[in-house]
Amino acid sequence: MGSEAGLFARQTETATIRSRRIFGLRPGEFLRKLLIEALLVLGAVAVLLPLVWMLSTSLKTMGQVGVYPIQWMPDPVMWSNYPEALSTIDFALYTWNTVKVTFAGMAGVLISCSLAAYGFSRFRAPGLNVMFLLLLSTIMLPSQVTLIPVYIMFSKLKWVDTLKPLIIPSFFGNPYDIFLLRQFFMTIPLEMDDAARIDGCNPLQTFWHVIVPMAKPALGTVAIFHFMYGWNDFFNPLIYLHHRENWTLALGLQGFRQVYSTDTNLLMAASFVAALPCILLFFFAQRRFIQGVVISGVKG
């Protein structure tokens, strides 16, 4: 009986406390969170302002672009800026080149890095640890140190002004992704490999039927980050691709900017369309992005 009375007392107590609460929070706590939300809103406005301005500007007439103070709502809305921007430069061709470079490179990175990571994480061999240390030591190596001889080599091979220098090297792995995948493969229980081996799988079959399905998150991260790199890379296309028919979007946009530097609205439209695949990818694979940043950052 006593316990029942105690329970009742406690219930009224919580009720009175709750009555002094706002959204279930003590007033002080509520105020603190309100302040934080307010700060976050302010920050978000500042961060998103350039983006909103980009979209707004891309839909204005050139006359409106120069109007001050800024007219945020374009009037009239110039949807025609988009087709005009995309036909001013050979947008379709540049996109196609970019797609080829990005996806061929992605295939190369995924195949070569996952196999190498498999080799490093699942097999014992004399000297393999030394090899892995060598691999790690090249992660921090600035690409400039190898840039010029590699360029000369490609030019001797007559590969300059083809897409090959942008694609072929990715089939030889890179230390960063090999390391990232190896770290992930290490977390897959060895028992799974053993089970596959007992079932008669050779190492390649084990890789395909056990490791790859288990490592999809890590492989997805590598694929996404390579997409972002391949799609946006400017330096390598700049030094390797000279003729317009080989240009990627990055070069096409830069060429556009050089010739039509005053057509702010068209340049904004073209830039937005060029960045759109990355934005869409982000919205569809947001979790992978966030995890990718964390994995590559904290573990790297």
Partner 1 sequence: MERTQRFRMTPARREALWAYGLISPWIIGFLIFTVAPMVTSFAMAFMEYNVIQPARWIGGANYRNLTIDPLFWQSVKVTFTFAGMSLIPSLAAGLVLAMLLNAEIPGLSVWRTLYYLPSIIQGVPVAILWGFVFNKRFGVLNWALALFGIKGPGWLASPQWALPALAIMSLWGVGGGMILYLAGLQGVPTTLYDAAKVDGANGWHRFWKVTLPMISPVIFYNLVMGTIGTFQYFTNAYVMTDGGPDYATWFYNLYLYRNAFYYSKMGYASALAWVLFLFVLLLTLLIFKSSAAWVYYEGQLKGGRG
Residues of span 112-141 touching partner 1 by CB under 8 A: 112-113, 115-116, 118-120, 123-126, 128, 131, 134-135, 138, 140-141
Q: Closest CB to partner 1 among 104 and 272?
A: 272
Q: Please tell me what DSSP assigns to residue 215.
A: T
Rounded distance, CA 188 to CA 122, Å?
10
| 96 forms part of the interface with partner 1 (CB under 8 A) | no
Q: Is 284 in the site for partner 1 (CB under 8 A)?
A: no
Sole window of 4-12, 79-87, 99-107, 229-237 interacting with partner 1 (rule: CB under 8 A):
229-237
Which DSSP string corresponds to 97-130? HHHHHHHHHHHHHHHHHHHHHHHHHH---TTHHH
Tell which one of 91, 176, 231, 247 touches partner 1 (CB under 8 A).
Answer: 231
Instruction: Pick the binder of partner 1 from 59, 65, 110, 210 (CB under 8 A).
Output: 65
Q: Which residue among 9, 22, 31, 48 contacts partner 1 (CB under 8 A)?
A: 48
Q: Nearest 5°: CA angle at 105, between 103 and 107?
A: 70
We find the least distance from the C-beta atom of residue 27 to partner 1, in angstroms, to be 16
Residue 195 or 280: the one with the smaller Cβ distance to partner 1 is 280
- Residue 207 CA to residue 115 CA, distance in Å, equals 8
Q: Please identify which residue in 15, 133, 259, 298 interacts with partner 1, judged by CB under 8 A.
A: 298
88 near partner 1, rule: CB under 8 A: no
Q: Which is nearer to partner 1, 244 or 299 (CB)?
A: 299
Binding pattern to partner 1, positions 174-193, x when CB under 8 A? Answer: ----x---------------
**Token pair of 7, please?**
């329970």
State the Rg of the chain over Cα: 27
How many residues touch partner 1 (CB under 8 A)? 92
Task: Report the distance separating Cα 286 and Cα 218, nearest Å.
Answer: 14
What type of residue is 286? Q
Left, alpha or beta for 163 (phi > 0: left; psi -120 to 50: alpha)?
Answer: alpha
Token representation of residue 262: 């005053």
Q: Residue 161 — left, alpha, or beta (φ > 0 → left; ψ -120 to 50 → alpha)?
A: left
62 near partner 1, judged by CB under 8 A = no
Minimum Å gap between C-beta 9 and partner 1 is: 28
Of the pair 9, 190, the CB lying nearest partner 1 is at: 190
Q: Which of 86, 88, 107, 169 binds partner 1 (CB under 8 A)?
A: 169
Would you say 2 or 28 has its CB closer to partner 1?
28
Number of other CB atoms surrounding residue 212 within 10 Å: 14
Please say which residue, 17 or 278, places its beta carbon nearer to partner 1: 278
Q: Which stretch binds partner 1 (CB under 8 A): 12-20, 75-83, 99-107, 149-157?
A: 149-157
> How many Å apart are CA 270 and CA 288, to the nearest integer?
27
Residue 51 is a binding residue for partner 1 (CB under 8 A): yes
- How far apart CA 61 and CA 198 sit, in angstroms, is 69
